[in-house]
Structure 1
Amino acid sequence: MALTTVDVGPGERALATDVAPLIRALRPGLDAAAFDAFVHEASRQGLVFTAAYDDAGRCLAVAGHRVLATSRGRLLFVEDLVTAPEARSTGVGGHLLAVLRERATAAGCVRIELDSGVANHGAHRFYHAQRMAVSAFHFALELPA
């Protein structure tokens, strides 16, 4: 399957028609208004959405990512990576991660990092198959609204 990857930014029609449905499937608590607010703020912080399309023009996967300068070196942080259910285990996610790897290298990053929920075992198998290692625990403290 031939894939094309493109960056989709704020104000582009594809953000609403292609990117939002996949991100919101991954994050079901994110309604349309919250997604729009997230995109507005996060894009100012460097968030980029990269989408993978098949030859028929269907969006099969999306990654939201940004380059961060950290005390551990420059890294490409993947905020979200989601593949459409019908396209899982077809190489689309691996293709998108390979594109991100090329971008990270070109941006002078020392690594790619992402978080994955502890119960998302399918994603864990995918990330391990992509030669990613579990290198840290990510702790969180919920704050009152």
Structure 2
Amino acid sequence: MEVGSMLGDVAEEAVALGACGHSCSQSVAVAFSCALGLDASLFMRLSTPLAGGMVLSGHVCGVVSAGLLILGAVHGPEVPDDAAQSRRTMLLASEYMERFAGANGSLLCAELWTGPDPRTPEGGRAIRASGRPEQLIRSGAGILGAILTREGVWW
């Protein structure tokens, strides 16, 4: 399979997971962990409290937080004194955040969604019906996939 095709498949899998009820953070974390041969069940659990900008608080978007988890899993150092790998991972993470904010206008859920409060049943339904989660998932997954591709992660 060609890299571009694989990347598109992972992004669309993330969108499909979101459409099936996964949170934005779970959608990105699970789709990429599966594609990379990582433990999807672990990433499902790790990404759960990241939803809605960290426990529905409106802080950093779960798409971004999940992308950072994946970048850390793939590029993070295996020992604490690997300063070069830590710096490299931080640079990739910064790039991911900057590109997401540039493409979507913010990193913060509270700014990415200005409709009804997503902590209420009505707000939760409204955000799902708006299609905004799928837009953000597609955007973040595309950016993450492009970085991983450039870094030679895709086989």
* Bin for the TM-score computed over the shorter chain: under 0.3
Structure richer in helix, relative to its length: 2
Structure richer in strand, relative to its length: 1
TM-score (norm 2): 0.25
